[in-house]
Structures are given as structure tokens and as C-alpha cells.
Amino acid sequence: MYHTISTSAGSTFRDRGSKFTGFLFPVSTRGDIDRELKALHGRYPDATHHCYAWRLMEESLHEYGADAGEPSGTAGAPILNALREASLVNVLLVVVRYYGGTKLGKPGLIHAYSETASACIAAAVTVPVVKAAGFRVLYPYNLKRKIAGLLHKYAIIETGSEFTDQVAADVWCPVESADLFRADLDALSYLEVSYVETGTGIVRY
């Protein structure tokens, strides 16, 4: 199971004069990532480095780490590893460094970025999420109990409904159960049950 955060968190770490400040943000798109990075550059334009890593659950899991001028493998990778160890997705973690005049060496940099990232994550409130497939299920009113039984069977979350001449329910099904849910819906087509698939995403459980 993955986790994410609902609000930002921060941390500070110091070593031999250098100051490392961590910022952990909830993000949903690469546009969100670009906006947060741009905003931090605007707030700390004189910082020595803005190193970061992110993980996004889109159709599949994507992740990236940036050393941003630090020696290769000393910043982006430790930050990304901290996110992986916490099983966090849809997050961006940035560490802003102000150089203090004493070189830390590669081991020192790895330690500093790792400690800053881990402290930032520890300060955050995390919530469990699962990768899910989205459906809009259309069915007659007299099948409400039967559809409710299917939703319970597969631990499906309903996020909204519309009531016209029939019920239109927007639901999220854990991806590992999506094929079985789809088959059960197909088996009810003779009762005027239909559905539209609306994509994949992560949802809180």
C-alpha cells in the first residue's frame, strides 16, 4: 500500500555551517511540481542548491531525483530513497541548501540530504492510498441494493451519484479487483446495467 500527504511539512538540518531546509508538498501533476519549484526559487533565490525528488502515480508510478549542481548521486538519490522507504506517492520533496564554507564531501552530503528528507517526512501526516480504476456505473433504481453489494464485495469507494431516470454512480475500484468488478457488471448488462471507465488514479482508504 502507498501513502500520501494532505498538507505540506518541513524540516531543518545543519552541518559544519551549511543549512539544509526541507519542504514536502502534496502534488497531483507535473504542473504542480513545476509551480512549487518555481515558488521556492522565488522565495530563496540566493540559495546554493535546490535539490529535489518526486513520485507521481499516473497510469503507472513515475519518479525523479535531481542533484541540482551537487555531486552526482549525493542529493537527488538520497531524497528519492527517503520517499521510497516511506512508500509516498504524489509528493515533491525539496531540500534548499545554503553553503556554510566547509565542504562536506560525498558521504557528508548524502547524510545531510537523507537526514533532512527523513525528518521532513517524519513531520508529515500521511494517509494510506491505493491505485484504483475509475468507473461511472449506470443502473436502474431497483438494482440499488445489488450494486451496493458489488461495491462492498470489492471494497469500492463511491465518490458521487446523479439521479435522473437512472442512477449514475462514480466509483473507484482497487486495480487488483477491477477485472472481476468489470466482469460482474458485464453479467448484469441484461438488467440495463452499464458503465464507462474513467481512468486510473490513487484514492484514500
Quick: pLDDT tens for 3-12.
999 899 999 9
- CB neighbour list of residue 74: distance below 8 Å, 6 or more residues apart: 67, 106, 109, 110, 113
Residue whose C-alpha is closest to residue 88's, from 121, 112, 115: 121
What does the pLDDT average to over 16-38? 96
Backbone φ and ψ of 178, nearest 5°: -60, -40
The 8 Å CB, 24+ separation contacts for 60-63 are 61/89
Three-state DSSP at 73 gives coil
What's the pLDDT at 6?
Answer: 87
Residues 6+ apart with CB under 8 A from 109: 70, 71, 74, 75
Residue 189 in this model has a pLDDT that exceeds 90: yes
Which whole number is the average pLDDT over 17-37? 96
What are 100-111's pLDDT values in tens digits?
999 999 999 999
Residues 6 or more apart in contact with residue 138 via CB below 8 angstroms? 166, 167, 168, 169, 193, 194, 195, 196
Q: What's this model's pTM, rounded to 2 decimal places?
A: 0.81
Using CA atoms, how far apart are residues 70 and 51, in angstroms rounded to an integer?
Answer: 8
pLDDT at 20: 98
pLDDT for residue 143: 96
SS3 55: strand
Chain-centre distance of CA 185, in angstroms? Answer: 29
Confidence at residue 125, expressed as pLDDT on a 0 to 100 scale: 94
- DSSP annotation of 135: E
- Per-residue pLDDT tens over the stretch 143-185: 999 999 999 999 999 999 999 999 999 999 999 999 999 999 9
Domains and CATH numbers, the chain: 2-124 (3.30.230.30), 129-204 (3.30.70.240)
- Chain segment 30-89, per-residue pLDDT in tens: 999 999 999 999 999 999 999 999 999 877 889 999 999 999 999 999 999 999 999 999
